[in-house]
Amino acid sequence: MPQLPAVIQQQLEQALALKCYRRFYDFFLVFWQVIEPTMPLKENWHIEYLCNEAQQIVENLAARGDKEYDLIVSISPGETKSTIFSRILPAWVWLRDASLKIISGSYDFSLATSFTVKSRDIINSPQYQKIITTLSALKSHPQYAHELRHFKPFKLKGDQNVKSYYESDCGGMRIASSPGSRITGFHADLILVDDSVKPPSPKQGTGINYSDIQAAIHWVGKVLSSRKTDRKKTVTIYVQQRVAKKDVTDHLLRTLPMVKHIRLPATDRHPIEPPELRERYVNGFMNPHTTDDEVIREKTLQMTTSGWVAQFEQNPDEEGGGIWKAAWFGRFSMKDLPVTGVIWHSVTDTASTDDLNNSSTGMLAYTYIGGIFYVRSFKAVWVQADRLGYEYIKFLVQNGYDAVASKAEIEPKANGISFAQLMRNEDIVKLSATELEKQGIRASHVRRINTKPFDNVLIGEPTGDRKQQVRYLSMSKTDKAVHVANAIRAGRVKLLDESDLPPGENWQEFLEAAEDFPSTGITEVIDTVAYMIVSNEAVSAGALFSKFTTGSYANLYRRDEPLHLFWCIEPAVNRYRCIAVQLTEVSPGVAAIVVHDEFEASDLRNLCTELLDVYANHQQTAVHYHIMQPSAEHTQLAEIFSPRFEPYTRFGCKFASMFHFTGKATALRTISGNGKQKASEQLSSRANALATLLSGGYTLKTTPKFAGRKVSILIDVSCLKLSDAIRSLLRDYDNMDRYGDWVNAFSLGISKMLDTERELYRF
């Protein structure tokens, strides 16, 4: 290609230099090719618009005018915002005035440093240096002297030139910053903030930690705001997508005295600022090069509708901007609950740290009555492991913990499992209880906490395709939140009215975290509330897996009706269990199998002594069922439950014993109708038959006294292990190793009991 004449070449260079100096958008177009040589620019109207906005601010800075406003730009990811403001703009700022000082930052220091490096690449490029040389020559020309009065030819200082910090020889400075980094001693004329909080990726599935938001607010509101050369002149530009209702942008809009907000949602279905920009949308899209209906469908599948509304539509306040809504949570007063029989349970998601940048330990206290969850307290604490036990026990005793009846469930992650074990240690619990007593908090009645890990519930219809089911503990937080959303929307989770809360406590932080998720929030709110619902109902498409009822049924105990004792004796592992049951009339025409007590010990005689003590005044027959195959333990049980056993006489027992020691193979015909299957093949049949009973689908046919009546199962709240075992096994047969022996004893015992009741009432 023939070389242009020198005069023409000079004129072209002068024209390009003046064009780049006069207009930031033209400078952007030229230097896009420098930093993105392999990626063609897809031009859209918003790029020129944002460049013009930035130019107005920089021209005023170069003229040393007073600040008119700080600028906030809310825009979708992938719309060139970082290239405009963090990579190319700083190089143009020094083209206008190389004495200006710039602090630029982002949520991650390495990302902030990459921005400074790209700007330095532009400055060091031959094209930029040629513009500097050309403008230097033009500045001496009278025609351009006034226009170029702020222009200062410059070079980067060799002794102050590293990736995250460099200076111009005209006094200008550029330094990278991020939350937690130190910029003491540096002040700026222009502060650039590009995404102060790391946005969740489309497939992340979890929200931003609330502490990340708080750290970013501290960074922009306290740290960067104190790094201004002149508070009347320094301008801050915040460029970031919205991530939550109470995010950094929300904080800035509420606290900055002079601010201009440019809000460019991906579609025109949401508020646009300034409103007149709506006219520039093409077929409803801000940038048709990057967004169409197919893209929206794909993104909402990846990141949920709420994520799309916040990050792409810049409207986290919109309905759909969060999975849960604060308005869904009702209120209750303590006087709304029954006077007696209310048992308070707890759900805990542990984290042993006092670092506010990490997850907290979330603790929730609730009771479950008539299908409604009444939550009396939620507390998030950031404490080290050595103080966590104290805070945990304090929370329990202040929220109605009953050492016998209350469930204390803990998420079984690594530190959760070890913490649960510690809380079952009486010596360790005693230390915290003693300290609480010294502070005037009654805790001496707590000897150990009957902690248990979350069940790994199988979510999905129990008779459905296993491929359509998923285990609760493997679900993402977002999936958990969606799974129980209908229960919350229906008003079945109520919070204690603030008039009943201790002084200074409220639900604001809880509700903000619940409503902002998955964009942000104390995510322990999601874990504890979701498991509270799942653990009691195993929610699947709104249906209950387990339909037995728990409550206080001491009033249903009948001294003058048979007492049935289901024994599960395993001497090989020193495990002895017994379940005490009655079949009784709970109201006219209504029968129930009432489980009064469960006993467990490592010694058979000690267990029998405890049972004799509890039921010494029982006046009717006690029928014993040995759930295992007949063995030598029959003789031992018969020996114990006779006047020859010293405690029998000492307690003055009034009941006589009847022993029903038939084997497993013949014990199932009452419920399952099939006594020919081997015992090893009966587990599924027993569980299914029990599920039929629990759902109210079984009519008594074998007991004349209750013939033709529907029967339900009522389990006293004191029977924690049995109720947990039945609930867990009916959800998922894969829990058999953990809970099978309890359900085995219970289901076989019921079968034998109904058969025996028929025999008892025949005569």
Round to whole Å and give the CA distance between 19 and 123. 17
| Inter-residue contact 581 to 753 (CB < 8 Å) | yes
Would 127 be classed as within a structural domain?
yes
Cα 385 to Cα 570: distance, rounded to the nearest angstrom = 37
Of the candidates 697, 662, 702, 692, the one whose C-alpha atom is nearest the C-alpha of residue 679 is 662
Q: What are phi and psi of 719, to 5 degrees?
A: -90, 65
Taking residues 68-74, report their average pLDDT.
95
In a domain, 166, yes or no: yes
* CB-based contact 380:364 (threshold 8 Å): no
Does 321 reside within a domain? no
Q: Mark which of 311, 342, 369 sits at the end of a domain.
A: 311
Choosing from 489, 506, 537, the residue where a domain stops is 537
Same domain flag for 299 and 331: no
Is the residue at 317 inside a domain? no
Identify whether residues 293 and 198 lie together within a single domain: yes
- CATH code of the domain covering residue 289: 3.40.50
CATH number at residue 387: 3.30.420.280
Could you tell me if 423 and 449 are in contact, meaning their C-beta atoms sit under 8 angstroms apart? Answer: yes
Q: 151, 150, 152, 176: which is closest to 162 by C-alpha?
A: 176
Last residue of a domain, one of 311, 338, 369: 311
Please give the share of the chain, as a percent, with pLDDT higher than 70: 79
Is 544 part of a structural domain of the chain? no
Establish if 318 belongs to a structural domain. no
Report the sign of the C-alpha dihedral through residues 17, 19, 21, 25, in that order.
negative
Is residue 543 included in any domain, yes or no?
no
Cα separation, 134 vs 140, in Å, equals 11
Residue 457 pLDDT: 58
The whole-number pLDDT of residue 707 equals 66
Asked if residue 148 lies in contact with residue 135, where contact means CB atoms within 8 angstroms, the answer is yes
Q: Is there a domain that residue 262 lies in? A: yes
SS3 category, 319: coil
Q: Is the domain of 282 the same as that of 336?
A: no
Closest CA to 117 of 162, 76, 150, 153: 162
Q: pLDDT, tens digit, for every residue of 519-561? A: 555 788 988 999 888 877 653 322 323 356 666 777 888 888 8
135 with 266, same domain: the answer is yes
Q: Within this chain, do residues 277 and 205 fall inside the same structural domain, yes or no?
A: yes
Task: Write the pLDDT tens digit of every residue in 172-212.
Answer: 999 999 988 878 889 999 999 999 988 876 444 345 656 67
Whether residue 56 sits in one domain with residue 177: yes
The verdict on 555 and 531 lying in the same domain is no
How far is 122 from 108, CA to CA, in rounded Å?
22
Q: Using a cut of 0.85, tell me whether the model's pTM lies above it.
A: no
Token pair 């064009």: residue: 19
Q: Is the pLDDT of residue 728 over 60?
A: yes
| Shared-domain flag, residues 508 and 554 | no
Q: Is 50 exposed, middle or buried (0-12, 13-18, 19+ CB in 10 A)?
A: buried
Based on the structure, what is the number of domains in the chain?
A: 3
| Closest to 645 measured CA to CA, from 613, 693, 599, 692 | 613
pLDDT of 331 over the 80 cut? yes
Report the alpha-carbon distance of residue 432 to residue 444 in Å, rounded.
Answer: 10
- Are 276 and 246 in a shared domain? yes
The per-residue pLDDT for range 588-630, each reduced to its tens digit, is 767 788 888 888 888 888 889 989 888 988 988 888 887 765 5
Residues 533 and 557 in one domain: no
Q: How confident is the model at residue 266 (pLDDT cuts 50, 70, 90)?
A: very high
299 with 150, same domain: the answer is yes
- Please indicate, yes or no, whether residues 74 and 173 belong to a single structural domain of this protein: yes
Radius of gyration of the chain (CA): 36
**pLDDT at residue 322 is higher than 80:** no
Q: Which structural domain range is residue 639 located in?
A: 549-762
